[in-house]
Amino acid sequence: MQLSTLSRDAARSALHRIDAWGVALIVCSIALLVHDAVTPRNLLLVLAVTAAYGLGYAVNDYFDSPFDAQEAGKARHNFFVRHRLSPRRARAVFAAAVAVPLGVFASFGVRGLLVAATCVLVIWAYSAPPLRLKSRPGLDLLTHALFVQTFAYFICVFLTGAGWLRADAWLLAINFLASLSGQLAQQVRDFDLDSRTDVNFATTVGLPATATCLQGTTLAVVVTGVAGFVVGALPLILAPLALGFGFAAARRMRGGERLPSPAQIYLPTTLALAYTGVLVFAQLH
């Protein structure tokens, strides 16, 4: 297989995951913005966290590849369906890939190393057997809610030593609920395939109940966000990002889209990244 083909397919897979690593990048940037902590060193931390999350999604794709191969749409976007790696080679690639963010985390001392160890542990436990928490109903939702957007925000406040603010409690709650809503939406979308190949919350309680939970958690995100702005706990510069979530919220309140279009995935995240980038540049010191 030519290197150019591997690079092209890897880039396509990364672009398809922009709603994953891109959200991590946005969440981490918000943590710095809220604390007026946008410095070159802290931006390196943001990039390291984003890289760690990108690696986590790659590991998830690796262990999901036997299942994704059974559905044409998912197979097309899973790099490891087209380019299979032996377990030995996969471990070597993972070790090499984790080295770069590990160096950044290590620069923050013992706390940074603890965060890095937690990241590696969660990446393994969520996707890989024998634990594979994503296939344990209830734990799949809890792990996703705690360790996707929520943990990314926590890492940046914890390691930068910025101190905890009133806004942090609101943003942690919003990220927890948004992560929970996002996982439910994904399980609604993948229900047919998961019913044949895996076990999770949706396949256990059924599609109607999952859709109802999705609507409830999405409403909770919207209510919490609006309340945060109304009481003045959230800075108004975040309002455009909240409005951007409205596209996903509207879709989820209908019970979720089984097959969201590429525009529904890429456009809101790309616009949010651009807006966040402007804010970060303006605050850089």
204 CB-near residues (< 8 Å, 6+ apart): 137
Residue 266: phi and psi, rounded to 5, are -85, -45
pLDDT at 255: 66
Tell me: the pLDDT tens digits for 98-113?
A: 988 999 999 999 999 9
Most confident range (mean pLDDT) of 11-20, 79-88, 109-118, 264-273 is 109-118
Radius of gyration of the chain (CA): 19
Residue 241: CB atoms within 10 A of its CB come to: 19
pLDDT at 263 over 70: no
pLDDT over 70 for what percent of the chain?
A: 91
Tell me: the pLDDT tens digits for 50-103?
A: 999 999 999 999 999 999 888 887 888 788 888 888 989 989 989 998 988 999
148 CB-near residues (< 8 Å, 6+ apart): 23, 24, 53, 179, 182, 183
Tell me: the pLDDT tens digits for 174-203?
A: 999 999 999 999 999 899 999 999 999 999
Say if CB 175 and CB 149 are below 8 A apart.
yes
